[in-house]
């Protein structure tokens, strides 16, 4: 089977790039430059972006193996700088960086079918200042910066064609993968399913696996895939940490049991609240939740004599935690990848860590999971623990559950929830003066968040109708006496992340 390989130099978009290529129907895998090995299935190589500068001492370099190979290369951002340097060009610090949407002019003779001016997603401080005569500039920013070049076979872009905001990004990637590399479209999600089932069986070798089941898409699909692979050797454990959405500690186990899974319910809410007592730092909260989660799991797994711990880690978790590459910069740790102690006694099993959210949903459909579960909104592993700013207590969790339930209730009644990728409420650590019943009040402040996204790597805030926001605010301040003010978050990702912590 034909394959495109992405060399990861630490870009936050590396696996998003791989996903775009898989969307075309071509197998794509990711590795680091030092682990790269060539085989005859590889039809092309992509050099990803990254946070380093090619002129700095110790920066990641062009792989030696690639010097001898004749396969086409696509360089993106840092990858473009590597390609330019290798060909004899020069790269230096730019006068000003380019970040976010930027207009570029395109040489339509080289990039046929692409308009002469498009908007692309930039994220760089360095720039290519000169190229050898063997290369042609095929795109420039409005300030004259080189935004793309080719030597007739290899291709390079300063911008990120893999990000949805880039116009004609899919066409540019297809031009490289199908047009230049000549790769065949013969990869399907069923191939991934069969490959992972075999991999799980080989890894587990008849031993028992326990998995955390939250009712979310990721953990449910990971559990269904593992059950398909090893049957009764998998047992799901639902840990009630007290930080689920309202009533989910009752609804989720029932739903999962209806799928034919073995589910054990453990109420550890008091244990989690005790572990979180006095903690306000987001990273410390995530770590406390992760460590308590593992402790509870180890205790239950020991009763079951399990050897493996299944987690529904997906790649947006891995990327944001900086775990995808030694060059990647950490944004925040994730419950599934950052809160695990070194002495954990269970071996991790993460069969869907290479997939994005919509790919996970497609995998779930292929496994026969009901659409109501497949289309469930994303919910973080630490639950409401990362939506309560400041100390997490049982009382503050109760308040947020009520607020969040009212927000989702109004969204469902209006039908607006069908148009939103993710929506939730956040309890802030401040209070605000107000007036209730002709008396001065001093109540908590909550923020509402609604975003549109395709895979969670980038997101735009969703413009909710004003009358809907008015209704939500009215219901919250009327029904939840502790809340005195409601605000709406209008920040994209980037610069913010989807979750507040």
CA atoms within a 13 Å half-sphere pointing along the CA-CB vector of 498: 24
Together in a domain, 164 and 207: no
Q: CA angle 104-107-112, nearest 5°? A: 115
In terms of domains, do 62 and 150 share one? yes
Domain end point (choices 158, 180, 202): 180
Q: 187, 25 in Cβ contact below 8 A?
A: yes
Q: What pLDDT does 330 receive?
A: 47
Among 180, 210, 226, the domain boundary falls at: 180
Looking at residue 435, which CATH number applies to its domain?
Answer: 3.30.300.10
Under 8 Å CB-to-CB from 231, ≥6 apart: which residues?
A: none
Sign of torsion, CA 273 275 280 284?
Answer: negative
- 398 and 463 both lie in a single domain: yes
Q: Is residue 379 part of a domain?
A: no
Whether 496 is covered by a domain: the verdict is no
Residues 264, 365: one domain?
yes
Decide which of 153, 180, 207 is a domain's last residue: 180
Residue 494 lies in a domain: no
Burial 263-276 (b: 16+ CB within 10 A, else e): bebeebbebbbebb
Q: 71, exposed or middle or buried, with CB in 10 Å at 0-12, 13-18, 19+?
A: middle
Q: With respect to residue 13, please indicate whether it lies within any of the assigned structural domains.
A: yes
pLDDT in tens, 214-271: 888 899 999 999 999 999 899 999 999 999 999 999 888 888 888 778 899 999 999 9
254, 348: one domain: yes
| CATH code of 338's domain | 3.40.50.620
> Do 109 and 190 form a contact (C-beta atoms < 8 A)?
no
Instruction: Record the pTM.
Output: 0.66
Predicted confidence (pLDDT) per residue in 109-120, tens digit: 999 999 999 999
User: Which residues are 340's β-sheet partners?
Assistant: none
Q: How far apart are CA 207 and CA 327, in angstroms?
A: 35
- The catalytic residue positions are 77, 160, 162
| Domain coverage including residue 11 | 3-180
Number of domains in the chain: 3
Helix (H) or strand (E) holding 210: strand 209-212
SS3 content of the chain, % helix, strand, coil (to 5): 35, 25, 40
Q: For 226, what's the count of Cα atoms within 13 Å in the CB-facing half-sphere?
A: 34
Q: For residue 69, how many other CB atoms are within 10 A of its CB?
A: 12
**93 domain residue, yes or no:** yes
User: What's the maximum distance between 2 C-alpha atoms anywhere in the chain?
Assistant: 80
Identify whether residues 20 and 126 lie together within a single domain: yes
Give the number of other CB atoms < 10 A from CB of residue 415.
8
The answer to whether the beta carbons of residues 366 and 443 sit under 8 Å apart is: no
pLDDT at 260: 78
Q: How far apart are CA 490 and CA 447, in angstroms?
A: 10
Tell me: do 347 and 222 sit in the same domain: yes
In a domain, 497, yes or no: no
Q: Are residues 226 and 343 in the same domain?
A: yes
What is the C-alpha separation between 431 and 19, in angstroms, rounded? 43
- Is residue 105 classed exposed, middle or buried when 0-12, 13-18 and 19+ CB atoms within 10 A define those classes? middle
Q: In angstroms, rounded to a whole number, what is the distance separating the alpha carbons of residues 389 and 446?
A: 10
Tokens of 491: 């920040």
Residue 328 sits in the same domain as residue 210: yes
CA 117, 80, 69, 15 dihedral sign is: negative
Same domain flag for 44 and 165: yes
Residue ranges of the chain whose pLDDT lies below 50 = 323, 326, 328, 330-332, 334-335, 337-341
If asked whether residues 195 and 321 sit together in one domain, one would say yes
Give a yes or no: residue 236 inside a domain. yes
* 363 shares a domain with 308: yes
In this prediction, residue 338 carries a pLDDT of 43
Q: Is 46 within the bounds of a domain?
A: yes
**How wide is the angle at C-alpha 174 spanned by C-alphas 318 and 75, nearest 5°?**
60
Give the integer Cα–Cα distance in Å for 357 and 353. 10
Task: Report how far residue 365's alpha carbon sits from residue 254's, in angstroms, rounded to the nearest whole number.
Answer: 20
CATH of the domain at 69: 3.40.50.880
CA nearest neighbour of 389 among 276, 307, 476: 276
């Amino acid at each position: 089977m034909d394959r495109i390989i992405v060399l990861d130099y630490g870009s936050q978009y590396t696996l998003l790039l791989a996903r775009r290529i898989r969307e075309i129907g071509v197998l794509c895998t990711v590795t680091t430059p030092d682990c790269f090995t060539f085989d005859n299935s590889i039809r092309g190589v992509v050099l990803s972006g990254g946070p380093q500068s090619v002129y700095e001492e110790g920066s990641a370099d062009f792989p030696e193996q690639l010097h001898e190979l004749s396969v086409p290369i696509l360089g993106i951002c840092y990858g473009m700088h590597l390609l330019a340097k290798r060909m004899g060009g020069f790269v230096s610090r730019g006068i000003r960086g380019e970040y976010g949407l930027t207009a570029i002019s395109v040489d339509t003779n080289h990039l046929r079918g692409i308009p002469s001016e498009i908007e692309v997603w930039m994220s760089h401080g360095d720039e290519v200042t000169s190229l050898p005569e063997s290369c042609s500039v095929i795109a420039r920013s409005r300030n004259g910066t080189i935004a793309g070049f080719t030597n007739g076979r290899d291709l390079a872009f300063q911008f990120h064609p893999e990000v949805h905001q880039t116009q004609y990004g899919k066409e540019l990637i297809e031009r490289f993968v199908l047009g230049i590399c000549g790769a065949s479209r013969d990869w399907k999600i069923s191939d991934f399913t069969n490959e992972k089932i075999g991999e799980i069986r080989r890894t587990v070798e008849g031993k028992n696996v326990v998995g955390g089941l939250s009712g979310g898409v990721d953990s449910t699909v990971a559990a269904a895939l593992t059950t398909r692979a090893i049957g009764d050797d998998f047992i799901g454990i639902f840990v009630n940490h007290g930080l689920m959405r309202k009533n989910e500690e009752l609804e989720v186990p029932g739903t999962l049991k209806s799928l034919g899974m073995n589910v054990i319910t453990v109420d550890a809410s008091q244990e989690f609240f005790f572990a979180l007592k006095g903690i306000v730092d987001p990273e410390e909260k995530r770590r406390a939740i992760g460590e308590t989660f593992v402790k509870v799991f180890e205790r239950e797994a020991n009763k079951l004599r399990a050897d493996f711990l299944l987690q529904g880690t997906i790649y947006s978790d891995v990327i944001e935690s900086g775990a995808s590459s030694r060059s990647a910069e950490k944004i925040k740790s994730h419950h599934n990848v950052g809160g695990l102690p070194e002495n954990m006694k269970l071996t991790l099993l993460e069969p869907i860590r290479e997939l994005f959210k919509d790919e996970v949903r497609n995998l779930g459909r292929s496994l026969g999971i009901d659409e109501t579960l497949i289309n469930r909104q994303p919910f973080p592993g630490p639950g409401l623990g990362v939506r309560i700013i400041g100390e997490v207590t049982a009382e503050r969790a109760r308040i947020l559950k009520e607020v969040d339930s009212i927000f989702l209730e109004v969204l469902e009644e209006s039908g607006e929830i069908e148009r939103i990728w993710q929506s939730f409420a956040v309890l802030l650590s401040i209070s605000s003066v107000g007036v209730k019943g002709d008396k001065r009040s001093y109540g908590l402040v909550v923020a509402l968040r609604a975003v549109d996204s395709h895979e969670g790597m980038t997101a735009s805030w969703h413009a909710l109708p004003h009358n809907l926001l008015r209704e939500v605010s009215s219901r919250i301040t009327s029904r939840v006496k502790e809340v005195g003010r409601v605000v709406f978050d209008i920040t994209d990702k980037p610069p913010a992340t989807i979750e507040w912590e």
